[in-house]
Structure 1
Amino acid sequence: MSRYLVLLIIILILAVIIVIIRPKAQAQPLIEETMATTQQRFTFQPLDQSLRNTLNAQESQVIINKGTERAFTGAYTDTEEEGTYYCRWCNSPLYSSQSKFHSGCGWPSFDDEIPNAVLRYPDADGSRTEIVCATCQGHLGHVFTGERFTEKNTRHCVNSISLVFRQETPVAEAVFAGGCFWGVEHLFEQKKGVYSAVSGYTGGTLADPTYQDVLTHTSGHLEAVKVYYNPLEVSYEDLAKFFFEIHDPTQTDGQGPDIGNQYLSAVFYRSRSEFDTAVRLIEILEAKGLKIATTLRGAAIFYPAEEYHQDYYVRKGSQPYCHAWVKRF
């Protein structure tokens, strides 16, 4: 075989290799470009003041001004009842009684938080780590490690005044809008870990809207569903994935045959964690070629719809006409 023929064969082999490899080399930049474009579409908004409870002077001093109540004076220092500890400022579930233990420090102590409920920041004193509610940023206390009180080797030292205790399993809230609320509510209520779902209106400018108000297309409200769930059984990410799979997130003018601004697709997030989760899921779907029309909006006051809208398909004994589960993740 002549050396020219050998050279020609080598060139052909290299050409084939380049053709095979080139798409793979270009795929990652294309995905990164899609993700960057997706992130630029959305802007995070902190929890609105209207969704936070009114605080008295003592509560404000600790929760807003980052004060500390005196040791051994808090209402929950030695409580042992089973239940859940919620944020006093925004009602988000923070700690389960299963993670509470006696440390002798003079404040309620927990060795773990409910997933994504607490954020950590370097404290102003330069040595400790502050913990705040992930939803409203209300001050809780400080977190310490290395003390070996429990196997998790972690102690959340929390001010009782930052908490509200209820003798119940954790109840978290999530709000989604995906067209007619009858179908969204019906499907969410079948999801494991969900206590209940409520049809209602949110995101508009009119207080206490009725169904007839929303039908005028002038109130700005979307038909939405508030989902009450146990965050120890099902994560917000699982709920958000389910939301994107039970309706068409690419439709821009409504959902199925229901056309109008009250039927638009939207996620109403309460925390940065929920916002980031929704953005990440949209990035995944758009990297698969879907053009997502869903908007991300800061949580607003939710108004339950009239009683005849609740559990509509259960009462009628029928199934959703414009919602169905489609595997997308």
Structure 2
Amino acid sequence: MKYNKLTPEEERVIIGKATEAPFTGEYLNNKEGGIYVCRRCDAPLYKSSDKFESHCGWPSFDDEIKGAVKRIPDADGMRTEIICNNCGAHLGHVFLNEGFTDKNTRHCVNSISLKFIPEKEIMIRKAYFASGCFWGTEYYFMKADGVKHTAVGFMGGHVDNPSYEQVCRKNTGHLETTEVDYDTSKTSYENLMKLFFETHDFTQTNGQGPDIGPQYLSCIFYSNEEEKDIAEKYIKTLEDKGYKVATMLKPASTFWKAEDYHQQYYEHKGTSPYCHVYKKIF
């Protein structure tokens, strides 16, 4: 995985887990609308709407973007450290039951661990695709131009926060799904759509390749009518080419992130997918 180049001071905090001096961070008093992303990997972490004034000397948030922040025991044995769930960058610490907001949570974050993107400049959008084993689906999307971050998980079922084992029992209704964060200034939903269809057998009705089961079906989870229209356009194009398209269209629902060992699976193993192959169609 490629990370942004850090200055020595940024490395001291983000990698070395140091703390910037209180009341010195550039975002301490920032009240502009937008999102805060990880300085090391650009993964979205916090919304400006969750930022509040705690007078502690560091930016404070009472909530994080779902699945973006991981809590681990601090080396001091007392506090709870928070890190970027995507790259492991040190963010700060989280404190509970202080009474600052109704959520009773304070993410105390080093400004230097963050980058702020004003609302008017936000170009990162999310897309959701299911095309069989999510290891293979993610493999191609994470390498695509304009894609900033990917994660694998489950969508479309009736069980909250399912485990991989539960989904494999084939009775949760969930499909193995890849979440794709992409920069609209560098790529488009249509480009992602093409890649989706060109990297799996969208005519297979019982799974994908050797993986058979309802959790491996082909599906596009659309977040708005524009995405639905684009998906329908490409399905029609494929049908006009003579393909019998089995891909389902469903409105996006809650994305439940899978266990850590599933994330960027082939990247960590250094191998290639066994059931996904790129084949140019468009």
State the match for 1:113 in structure 2: none
Equivalent of 1:273 in 206, 209, 226: 226
Aligned equivalents of 1:293, 1:170: Cα separation in 2: 31
Amino acid at match of 2:263: Q
State the match for 2:157 in structure 1: 204
Displacement after TM superposition at 1:264 (Å): 0.2
Aligned equivalents of 1:261, 1:214: Cα separation in 2: 9
Equivalent of 2:172 in 219, 225, 232: 219
Displacement after TM superposition at 1:76 (Å): 6.1
Amino acid at match of 1:242: L
Displacement after TM superposition at 1:165 (Å): 3.8
State the match for 2:215 in structure 1: 262
Spell out the pairing of 1:30-69 with structure 2 (5 A cutoff).
none
Aligned equivalents of 1:169, 1:319: Cα separation in 2: 33
State the match for 2:262 in structure 1: 309
Aligned equivalents of 1:258, 1:76: Cα separation in 2: 47
Q: Is the 8 A contact 2:32 2:48 kept in 1?
A: no
State the match for 2:68 in structure 1: none
Q: Is the 8 A contact 2:164 2:259 kept in 1?
A: yes
Displacement after TM superposition at 1:169 (Å): 5.2
Q: What CA RMSD, in Å, does the superposition of the two structures yield over aligned residues?
A: 2.4
State the match for 1:190 in structure 2: 143
Matched, 1:177 2:130: yes
Aligned equivalents of 2:189, 2:119: Cα separation in 1: 21
Distance change in 2, residues 1:76/1:196 (3 Å): closer
What SS is found at the alignment partner of 1:280? helix
What SS is found at the alignment partner of 1:200? strand
Q: Deviations over 1:247-301 (max 9, x none)?
A: 1100000000000000000000001100000000000000000000000000010
Distance change in 2, residues 1:87/1:247 (3 Å): farther
Displacement after TM superposition at 1:314 (Å): 1.2
Displacement after TM superposition at 1:231 (Å): 0.8
Aligned equivalents of 1:240, 1:298: Cα separation in 2: 15
State the match for 1:232 in structure 2: 185
Aligned equivalents of 1:299, 1:170: Cα separation in 2: 20
Matched residues, number = 174
Distance change in 2, residues 1:87/1:238 (3 Å): farther
Spell out the pairing of 1:1-329 with structure 2 (5 A cutoff).
165=118, 170-329=123-282
Q: Deviations over 1:155-185 (max 9, x none)?
A: xxxxxxxxx9459752100000000000110
Amino acid at match of 1:266: C
Compute the TM-score of the two structures, normalised by the length of structure 2.
0.58
State the match for 1:33 in structure 2: none
Distance change in 2, residues 1:76/1:307 (3 Å): closer
Aligned equivalents of 1:239, 1:196: Cα separation in 2: 13
Aligned equivalents of 2:121, 2:210: Cα separation in 1: 41
Amino acid at match of 1:317: G
Q: Deviations over 1:17-69 (max 9, x none)?
A: xxxxxxxxxxxxxxxxxxxxxxxxxxxxxxxxxxxxxxxxxxxxxxxxxxxxx
Q: Deviations over 1:88-140 (max 9, x none)?
A: 8xxxxxxxxxxxxxxxxxxxxxxxxxxxxxxxxxxxxxxxxxxxxxxxxxxxx
In the alignment, structure 2 segments of 5+ residues that lack a partner are: 1-30, 35-46, 50-116
Identity rate, percent: 46
Aligned equivalents of 2:48, 2:155: Cα separation in 1: 23
Compute the TM-score of the two structures, normalised by the length of structure 1.
0.50
User: Which structure has the highest strand share of the two?
Assistant: 2
In the alignment, structure 1 segments of 5+ residues that lack a partner are: 1-74, 80-85, 89-163
Aligned equivalents of 1:190, 1:212: Cα separation in 2: 27
Amino acid at match of 1:305: A
Amino acid at match of 1:326: K
